[in-house]
Every structure is written in structure tokens, then in C-alpha cells.
Homo-oligomer: A and B are copies of this chain.
């Protein structure tokens, strides 16, 4: 089944201690869409400016990503520039130029409104809600977020949470949102805000799913070196939702493996700048790492 992915489509200029790469394909929806594309059809909703390189449109298309919902507007594409410290744990924003993203309204083509699987990748919660306003009974809605929205749009986020099936956030965001130090308590508090499924990302330490069927402690695919972690979280949710949409059976039956698939796609993302590594992935590469994960985790 197809997945609708809405979020930011951007150009990222990324500096690490080892290299500097200007104007990479970036944005939450770009990473998530490429990640989801390995599992089935993806419909992308986003906005880019007239400066958006054709090669990136070609890249989306090569991945079978439908671009009917990608708006091309007069002006510049959203541009983010950031720099990572040596251990890749901390990044600092050098520049944010919103460009056409400043007035982005995610309007869905008619054909997208019945998508069964919806990923509200990281953008303002008000825009995420606007997507749901246009949908007709989606089967499964996943929302991602970032710390910024907890600070500047908390009420919008809380309103959104009542309308999503699964909410994905990282450990510090979960602690910030709930004021609970312990992840169980944090997950429980988030369930009370709406979502049946809460997925808390712990970076290299894996992730934590709290679901009606119980808890799942998922390992992360272990990497020896991280080239650029930008987009890893977006790739994680993209792979997760893409895998879910590709499977028969219930969400509960598939969600644990979906998390593992998400973690594997995220691992590829970290091994190159922007989507450069992810874009070279074959489905067989993903299956290979999933098998490795099975070996790493079995006891």
C-alpha cells in the first residue's frame, strides 16, 4: 500500500570535522521518502524553490517517489547549514534560510487523500494537522517532531497528538515533553496525550516502543563510523512506515520488525552525507543488515 509523506524538502550544507558538503538533498520528507521507497510506492508532499537542482528531482523519481504533491514555487528552496562536533553527538546550526518553506501549506492532491499510511515527518505541528484535515480515514498515522516545536508550538503539538496513532520522538524530547526522567513513565504520559504507539529514539542505543501489546527494546544497527547523522531520525520513521505499509497483518504484528527495518535504513543514512549512501542502497542490502540484527540480538 502507498505511503503519504509530508515534511520539509530542503538543501543542507553540512560540515563535519572530516568534510564539508554544500547543498545536499535534505529535509525530513526527503530522507523519509527515500527510506520508505525501498518498500513500496511513496507520495511526497513538500515545497521547493526554482533553484532546486533537477538531479534531486531525478533522484526522487528513480526511487519511484510520486511528485504530484511536490510544489515548485518562485523563490529559494529551504536551506539549512550546520556543523557537527567530533563525536557527532552535537550539532550547531550555522544558518537557516526558510525561502519558499516559510509560506508552505501542505495541500494534498486528490489522489493522496485516501492514502492508508501517513507519515507526518518533522514540520510545524499546525502543518501536520492541516494534512490530517484533508485525509479521509487513514489507517495509520505516524507523526515525528523535534525539540523546536515543544518550545514554540506546544499547544499545536498537543492538539495533533490526539489525532495520530503513533508518535516518534527522541529521548530528550520525551523527557522534555512529559517532565519524566524515566522512559516508561514518559511513554505512559504520552499515551495519555493520545497516541496508542509511542516510539522513543535513543540514537546509538536503539529505540523503545510502548504499545498495547507490550514494550519492545530495539537495538540500533551498530556502526563503526558515522559520516553524517543528519536525517537518520527521518530515515528511521520513513523506513518504519514504508515497511509497515508493505505488510499484511495488523500493525501490532509488524511494528517491531518495522522498527528494525527503520533502524537499518537509518544506519545507511549515517554512512554518507545527506542521502548519498541511502540512495545507493538495494533492498537486498537492507535484508542483509536485518539478518545481522537478528544475529546481534538473539539469545
Number of copies: 2
One digit per residue, 1 when the CB lies within 8 angstroms of any chain B CB and 0 when it does not, for chain A 205-245 equals 11000000011111100101100000000000000000000
- Per the 8 Å Cβ criterion, residues 178-194 of A in contact with B are 181-185
Cα–Cα, bound, A299→B209 (Å): 12
Complex contacts, A202 vs chain B, CB 8 Å = 205
Whether A296 touches B217, Cβ cut-off 8 Å, given contacts A202-B205, A205-B202, is yes
A216 with B296: CB separation less than 8 A: yes
A297 at the interface (CB under 8 A from B): yes
B184 with A257: CB separation less than 8 A: no
Cα–Cα, bound, A183→B295 (Å): 18
A260 at the interface (CB under 8 A from B): yes
A259 at the interface (CB under 8 A from B): yes
B214 with A295: CB separation less than 8 A: yes
Across the interface, name the chain B residue whose C-beta is closest to A299: B256
A151 at the interface (CB under 8 A from B): no
Complex contacts, A222 vs chain B, CB 8 Å = 183-184, 215, 217
Cα–Cα, bound, A219→B205 (Å): 9
One digit per residue, 1 when the CB lies within 8 angstroms of any chain B CB and 0 when it does not, for chain A 260-273 equals 10000000000000
* A202, A214, A299 pick with most chain B CB within 10 angstroms: A299
Complex contacts, A295 vs chain B, CB 8 Å = 214
A216 with B182: CB separation less than 8 A: no
Tell me how far the C-beta of A182 lies from the nearest C-beta in chain B, rounded to whole angstroms: 6
A225 with B182: CB separation less than 8 A: yes
A55 at the interface (CB under 8 A from B): no
Tell me how far the C-beta of A161 lies from the nearest C-beta in chain B, rounded to whole angstroms: 23
CB < 8 Å: which of B224, B225, B299 contacts A297?
B299
Cα–Cα, bound, A206→B299 (Å): 14
A298 at the interface (CB under 8 A from B): yes
A87 at the interface (CB under 8 A from B): yes
Cα–Cα, bound, A257→B297 (Å): 11
- Per the 8 Å Cβ criterion, residues 147-188 of A in contact with B are 181-185
Cα–Cα, bound, A299→B214 (Å): 12
B256 with A298: CB separation less than 8 A: yes
Give me 27 A-to-B residue pairs in the complex whose CB atoms sit less than 8 angstroms apart, sorted by A's number.
Answer: A182-B224, A183-B222, A184-B222, A184-B224, A185-B224, A202-B205, A205-B206, A206-B217, A214-B295, A214-B296, A215-B222, A215-B296, A216-B296, A216-B297, A216-B299, A217-B222, A217-B296, A217-B297, A218-B299, A256-B298, A256-B299, A257-B299, A259-B299, A260-B299, A294-B299, A297-B297, A297-B299
Give the B-binding residues of A (Cβ under 8 A): 87, 181-185, 202, 205-206, 214-219, 222, 224-225, 256-257, 259-260, 294-299
